[in-house]
Amino acid sequence: MYSGAAATATELALHAANKVDVMTLEHTLAYESYCISRLELLLKHNITPVVVFEGAGMPTKAATSARREHDRQKHMMRGLNLHATHDLVESGKAFARSLKITGAMGRKLRRTLLRVHPTIECIVAPYEADAELAHLSLTNYVDIVISEDSDLIPYGCATV
C-alpha cells in the first residue's frame, strides 16, 4: 500500500494537516488502485493471491512506534514549511517520508477487495503482517511472499 500511497503523498499530507478525512476523496485513493492493479496482474497469470493486512500494534514495539511517529511528524512539518515556500520537489520528498499507512486505509482496501474481487482471500494478522506472512509461508499455506519489507527474510520465509 505504501508505494501506491506515495503517488499522492503531498495530497494526503496536506489533507491530514487540514484534518480532512482522506477516505472520502477519490484522488487520494491511488494506493487502492495501485494494490488492485498488482493483484489483478497476479490473477491474470493464474496466481491466487492472499492479502495480509496489519493487525494490532505490537506492545513490545511501542517505543519504536513512538519514534517513527515523531519522525513522521517532523517530516510533515518540514514538508509543510517547504510547501509554503513553493519548493514542491523537496516538500514532496518530505511528505513521502511523513506517510503513514493507517488502519482506515487497510480497512478501505479490504472492503474494496471484497466488493471487486470477492475470491481474493484477505487475512488480518493478529499483530504485524510480517509474522503472519512468515507463518503462512512456513506452513506452506502460500508458495511465495510478495512484500516490500525485507524483514521477511529473517523470519525464515523461503521465497520472498
Banded pLDDT at 57 (limits 50, 70, 90): confident
Average pLDDT over residues 59-64: 86
Total-model pTM: 0.81
pLDDT tens, 3-53?
Answer: 888 888 888 888 778 776 655 555 567 889 999 999 999 999 999 999 999
Report the distance separating Cα 104 and Cα 117, nearest Å: 19
**Predicted confidence (pLDDT) at residue 145 exceeds the cutoff of 70:** yes
**Predicted confidence (pLDDT) at residue 154 exceeds the cutoff of 70:** yes
Q: Is the CB of residue 79 less than 8 Å from the CB of residue 13?
A: yes
**Predicted confidence (pLDDT) at residue 136 exceeds the cutoff of 70:** yes
Query: Do 79 and 108 have their domain in common?
Result: yes
What is the per-residue pLDDT for 22? Answer: 55
Range picked from 18-22, 55-59, 95-99 for highest mean pLDDT? 95-99
Query: Do 84 and 135 have their domain in common?
Result: no
CATH number at residue 17: 3.40.50.1010
Higher pLDDT, 53 or 62: 53
Number of domains in the chain: 2
Query: Do 146 and 71 have their domain in common?
Result: no
Banded pLDDT at 120 (limits 50, 70, 90): very high
Query: Do 94 and 157 have their domain in common?
Result: no
Query: Do 59 and 119 have their domain in common?
Result: yes
Query: Do 20 and 36 have their domain in common?
Result: yes
- With residues binned 3-state (H G I as helix, E B as strand, rest as coil), the percentages for the chain, rounded to 5, are 60, 5, 30
Average pLDDT over residues 103-120: 93
| Consecutive H or E run containing 132 | helix 129-138
**Predicted confidence (pLDDT) at residue 156 exceeds the cutoff of 80:** no
C-alpha cell at 125: 494478522
Query: Do 83 and 52 have their domain in common?
Result: yes
User: Average pLDDT of the chain?
Assistant: 88
Q: Which domain holds residue 157?
A: 128-160
